[in-house]
């Protein structure tokens, strides 16, 4: 028998191998979609660290995503010769700083208050992005060209999609694995326990406010990284990247996939983007159907697709009770 | 001088509208502890219902009567069949549900009425102007303020002077006890939510002729209403009055004094309140 841990490592390796093979198998249009899925998977994973693990419902996650997206675009336009790494690094620094500062304000509140304030802050960022036409391009958005990647010994052309897909796969994939590792560390477990019983954690000597701030900043930086790759992927960014719709998107992905497991949101991003692509071919009203799917899930399957999968697996293996979701649904209100 | 008073009156009119929107929001939040993200979407629904009804009948008074009633029914249905079902899952799910509802309502509105602004034109007395202390001023803006004062007074009277108000406030404190005393608390909560929806509908009808009716109007007012609630204090009616006036005037004079910063002023006020008194001006300590 292989242990649970080993099985996880094998699964990750298999997924990477599959990812490496994909460009040979699928068409360019689908590869485009796959790159988008990987980027949004990180965005959804970062959101789930807040929602599923810490029980913090934020309606302002797009401000980090958008901040990362705009930082890359603006820095690539205004600093000539800037390498891709440095642009991404700048985005990370910016979103970390923003996460730390806004977190200080926002985390004074919990539950509904927190949700409301994040929405208000997101709107502030959106307003700035719309009005500050000189830097952000306002309604017109910003177009960039992906810079080539210098690896020291060789230069990789980034103009084509396939090369960029590999960079995305390796970088974002590694970061997602790191997130998974993070949830297993003492810090990650602290976050979980804090949601379950904050009083007791305080009693045990943990400073829950600091832990929450660290988590918030961390997830902000992750969303910023996703945003940075979003800009690099589309070679375009507009204020929609920082709008509340972008938060709605990640909320839908995370929730459809399921907040109860680590991999749920990744699955959610996958399903969401594919369903969206097909629905938008059939009807212009796809957001309406997305909304209906969301409501039905909230009412009937609060654990999302991962809940269904776990239930099916439980049926087959006959040990339904074994795989308790890592991050159970409710937060104590 | 006259310019200043005109902007002051503009501020009062917007404050009136803000109060009408945030009163329902804060009522539902204070009573049921549900932050209704769909509130502004319902407000938009009210505005669009009124737009269609006005086109069909031409009677604005009829809109003022019927649209809140329609929203009352919608609110009651939402509470009874959707919100109550997720209540057991806790706070997070209630928020998610109302958020999803807002999303669906917005999409439905785009589908039915189109994704472009609709102008509502008022004829008759309300559409005219009146001379007030030497300034010619639109009647309608004064009407909004009067409406807000009327609604605010009525709410305060019901909450603090009637038997119904006592039951409501008691149910907030200890709903099991009130239930045990023989009052139908779930029905009371349905009523509160429906009343909140009706208020949002009324605000929507009133907003129609003042602002344009378009699918983005919900989000626009939602943020301002949220700021009102944060500044005034969560669930406090008196706080909503003061904060509405503050923000209404701030927006109005902000445009006059610092046109570029007018938008940021509101957020700056919110940030200042959050730093100095996180529970809001009139909020109780959480």
Q: Do A97 and A224 form a contact (C-beta atoms < 8 A)?
A: no
What is the predicted pLDDT for the residue at A218? 93
- CA-to-CA distance for B209 and B48, rounded, in angstroms? 11
Q: How far B153 CA sits from the closest chain A CA (Å)? A: 27
Residue A322 has pLDDT above 90, yes or no: no
Q: Which residue of B has its CA nearest to A292?
A: B104
Q: How far B127 CA sits from the closest chain A CA (Å)? A: 32
Give every CB contact of residue B150 below 8 A, 6+ residues apart in sequence.
Answer: none
Q: How far B166 CA sits from the closest chain A CA (Å)? A: 25
Could you count the other beta carbons within 10 Å of the beta carbon of residue B86? 20
- CA-to-CA distance for B204 and A187, rounded, in angstroms? 47
Lowest mean pLDDT among A129-143, B27-41, B46-60: A129-143
Query: For all residues of chain B together, what is the average pLDDT?
Result: 85
Give the pLDDT confidence of B147-168 residue by residue, as tens digits: 999 999 999 998 888 888 888 8
Q: Is residue B285 part of a domain?
A: no
> What average pLDDT does this structure show over B200-211?
89
Subunit contact B229:A248, Cβ cutoff 8 A:
no
CATH of the domain at B98: 1.10.3470
Name the E strands within chain A: 142-143, 149-150, 155-156, 236-237
Q: Is residue B71 part of a domain?
A: yes
> What average pLDDT does this structure show over B187-200?
91
Q: Is residue B47 part of a domain?
A: yes
Dump the DSSP string for B131-198.
EETTEEEEHHHHHHHHHHHHHHHHHHHHHHHSHHHHHHHHHHH-HHHHHHTT--HHHHHHHHHHHHHH
Query: For all residues of chain A together, what is the average pLDDT?
Result: 84
Subunit contact B96:A57, Cβ cutoff 8 A:
yes
% of chain A beyond a pLDDT of 70: 94
**Strand B129-132 to strand A236-237: parallel, antiparallel, or no bridges (unpaired)?**
unpaired
Q: Which residues of A123-135 are buried (b: 16+ CB within 10 A; e: fewer)?
A: bbbbbbbbeeeee
Q: Is residue B281 part of a domain?
A: no
Interface check A11 vs B, CB under 8 A = no
Q: Is residue B60 part of a domain?
A: yes
Give the pLDDT confidence of A247-267 residue by residue, as tens digits: 888 988 898 888 878 888 999
Subunit contact A117:B97, Cβ cutoff 8 A:
no
Subunit contact B99:A59, Cβ cutoff 8 A:
yes
What is the predicted pLDDT for the residue at A331? 41
Taking chain B, what is the end-to-end CA distance rounded to the nearest angstrom? Answer: 43
Subunit contact B104:A288, Cβ cutoff 8 A:
yes
Give the pLDDT confidence of A99-129 residue by residue, as tens digits: 999 998 888 877 777 888 888 888 888 888 8
**Structural domain containing residue B108:** 2-276
pLDDT band at B197 (very low <50, low <70, confident <90, very high): very high
Give the pLDDT confidence of A193-225 residue by residue, as tens digits: 888 788 888 888 888 888 889 999 999 999 999
Give the pLDDT confidence of B54-77 residue by residue, as tens digits: 888 878 888 888 999 999 999 999
Q: Do B72 and A270 form a contact (C-beta atoms < 8 A)?
A: no
> What average pLDDT does this structure show over A273-278?
88
- CA-to-CA distance for B84 and B92, rounded, in angstroms? 13
Residue A86 has pLDDT above 90, yes or no: no
Q: Is residue B148 part of a domain?
A: yes
Q: Is residue B282 part of a domain?
A: no
Q: Do A299 and B97 form a contact (C-beta atoms < 8 A)?
A: yes
- CA-to-CA distance for A274 and A171, rounded, in angstroms? 22
**Strand B135-138 to strand A149-150: parallel, antiparallel, or no bridges (unpaired)?**
unpaired
**Which structural domains are found in chain A, ordered by start?**
4-317 (1.10.3470)
Subunit contact A124:B264, Cβ cutoff 8 A:
yes
Total residues found in chain A within this entry: 333
| The three-state (H, E, C) secondary structure of A273-326, written as one string | HHHHHHHHHHCCCHHHHHHHHHHHHHHHCCCHHHHHHHHHHHHHHCCCCCCCCC
What is the predicted pLDDT for the residue at A223? 94
CB-count burial class (<10 Å; 0-12, 13-18, 19+) for A282: exposed
Instruction: Tell me the torsion sign for CA atoms B266, B272, B277, B279.
Output: positive
What is the predicted pLDDT for the residue at A293? 85
Taking chain A, what is the end-to-end CA distance rounded to the nearest angstrom? Answer: 41
Nearest by CB: A295 against B92, B101, B263: B101
What is the predicted pLDDT for the residue at A318? 66
- Which DSSP state fits B213? B
Q: Do B198 and B73 form a contact (C-beta atoms < 8 A)?
A: no
How far, in Å, are A275, B55, B203 from residue B218 at the CA level?
27, 21, 11
Nearest by CB: B111 against A116, A131, A288: A288
What is the predicted pLDDT for the residue at B118? 80
What is the predicted pLDDT for the residue at B286? 47
pTM above 0.90, yes or no: no
Subunit contact A295:B275, Cβ cutoff 8 A:
no
Subunit contact A251:B96, Cβ cutoff 8 A:
yes
Q: Is residue B249 part of a domain?
A: yes
B91, B234, B236: best mutation site toward chain A, by most A Cβ within 10 Å?
Answer: B91
Give the pLDDT confidence of B115-130 residue by residue, as tens digits: 888 877 777 777 777 7
Subunit contact B286:A59, Cβ cutoff 8 A:
no
Residue A26 has pLDDT above 60, yes or no: yes
A106, A123, A126: best mutation site toward chain B, by most B Cβ within 10 Å?
Answer: A123
Subunit contact B104:A120, Cβ cutoff 8 A:
no
CB-count burial class (<10 Å; 0-12, 13-18, 19+) for A181: exposed
What is the predicted pLDDT for the residue at B265? 81
> What average pLDDT does this structure show over A308-329?
65
**ipTM higher than the 0.90 cut:** no
| Residue reference for tokens 């809109």 | B63
Nearest by CB: B223 against A120, A251, A255: A120
- CA-to-CA distance for B186 and B188, rounded, in angstroms? 5
φ, ψ (nearest 5 deg) of residue A59? -105, 20
What is the predicted pLDDT for the residue at A319? 56
- Structural domains of chain B, count: 1
How many alpha carbons fall within 13 Å on the CB side of residue A91?
A: 33
% of chain B beyond a pLDDT of 90: 21
pLDDT band at B285 (very low <50, low <70, confident <90, very high): low
Q: Do A313 and A323 form a contact (C-beta atoms < 8 A)?
A: yes
Give the pLDDT confidence of A280-290 residue by residue, as tens digits: 888 878 888 88
Give the pLDDT confidence of A134-178 residue by residue, as tens digits: 787 777 888 888 877 777 777 777 777 888 888 889 899 999 999
> What average pLDDT does this structure show over A299-323?
76
Better-scored residue on pLDDT, B85 or B123: B85
Q: How far B26 CA sits from the closest chain A CA (Å)? A: 12
How far, in Å, are A219, B6, B14, B136, B250 from residue B141 at the CA level?
45, 11, 8, 12, 17
Q: Which residues of A44-64 are buried (b: 16+ CB within 10 A; e: fewer)?
A: bbbbbbbbbbbbbbbbbbbbb
């Amino acid at each position: 028998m292989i242990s649970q841990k080993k099985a996880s490592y094998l699964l990750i390796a298999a997924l990477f191998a599959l990812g490496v093979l994909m460009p040979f198998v699928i068409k360019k249009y689908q590869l485009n979609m796959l790159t988008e899925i990987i980027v949004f998977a990180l965005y959804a994973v970062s959101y789930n660290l807040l929602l599923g693990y810490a029980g913090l419902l934020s309606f302002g996650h797009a401000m980090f995503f958008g901040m990362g997206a705009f930082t890359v675009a603006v820095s690539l336009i205004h600093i000539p010769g800037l390498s891709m790494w440095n642009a991404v690094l700048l985005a990370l620094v910016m979103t970390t700083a923003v996460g730390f500062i806004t977190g200080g304000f926002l985390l004074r509140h919990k539950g509904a208050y927190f949700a409301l304030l994040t929405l208000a802050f997101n709107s502030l960022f959106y307003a700035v992005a719309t009005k500050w036409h000189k830097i952000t391009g306002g309604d017109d958005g910003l177009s960039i060209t992906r810079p080539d990647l210098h690896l020291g010994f060789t230069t990789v052309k980034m103009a084509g999609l396939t090369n960029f897909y590999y960079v995305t796969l390796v970088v974002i994939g590694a970061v997602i694995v790191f997130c998974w590792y993070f949830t297993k560390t003492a810090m990650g477990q602290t976050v979980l326990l804090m949601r379950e019983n904050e009083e007791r954690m305080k009693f045990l000597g943990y400073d829950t406010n600091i832990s929450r701030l660290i988590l918030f900043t961390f997830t902000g930086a992750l969303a910023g990284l996703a945003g940075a790759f979003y800009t690099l992927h589309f070679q375009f960014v507009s204020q929609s990247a920082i709008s509340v719709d972008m938060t709605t998107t990640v909320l839908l992905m995370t929730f459809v996939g399921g907040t109860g497991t680590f991999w749920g949101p990744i699955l959610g991003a996958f399903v969401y983007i594919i369903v969206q692509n097909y629905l938008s071919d059939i009807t212009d009203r796809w957001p309406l159907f997305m909304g209906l799917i969301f409501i039905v899930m909230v009412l009937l399957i609060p654990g999302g697709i991962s809940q269904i999968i776990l239930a099916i697996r439980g049926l087959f293996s006959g040990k339904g009770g074994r795989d308790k979701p890592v991050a159970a649904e409710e937060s104590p209100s | 001088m006259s310019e200043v008073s005109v902007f002051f009156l503009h501020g009062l009119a917007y404050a009136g509208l803000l109060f009408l929107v945030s009163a329902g929001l804060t009522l539902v939040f204070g009573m049921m502890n549900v932050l209704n993200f769909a509130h502004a979407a319902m407000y938009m629904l009210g505005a669009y219902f009124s737009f269609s009804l006005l086109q069909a009948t031409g009677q604005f008074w009829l809109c003022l009567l019927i649209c809140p009633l329609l929203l009352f029914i919608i609110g009651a249905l939402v509470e009874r069949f959707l919100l109550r079902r997720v209540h057991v899952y806790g706070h997070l799910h209630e928020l998610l549900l109302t958020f999803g509802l807002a999303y669906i309502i917005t999409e439905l509105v785009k589908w039915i009425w189109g994704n472009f602004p609709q102008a509502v034109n008022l004829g008759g007395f309300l559409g005219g102007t009146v001379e007030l202390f030497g300034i010619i001023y639109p009647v309608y803006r004064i009407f909004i303020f009067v409406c807000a004062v009327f609604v605010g007074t009525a709410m305060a009277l019901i909450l603090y002077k009637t038997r119904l108000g006592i039951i409501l406030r008691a149910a907030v404190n200890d709903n099991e006890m009130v239930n045990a005393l023989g009052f139908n608390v779930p029905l009371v909560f349905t009523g509160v939510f429906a009343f909140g929806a009706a208020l949002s509908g009324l605000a929507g009808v009133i907003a129609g002729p003042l602002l344009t009716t378009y699918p983005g109007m919900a989000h626009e007012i939602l943020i301002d209403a949220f700021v009102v609630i944060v500044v005034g204090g969560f669930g406090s009616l008196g706080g909503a009055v003061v904060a509405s006036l503050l923000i209404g005037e701030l927006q109005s004079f902000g445009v006059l004094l610092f046109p570029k910063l007018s938008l940021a002023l509101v957020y700056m006020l919110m940030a200042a309140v959050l730093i100095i008194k996180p529970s809001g001006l009139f909020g109780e300590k959480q």
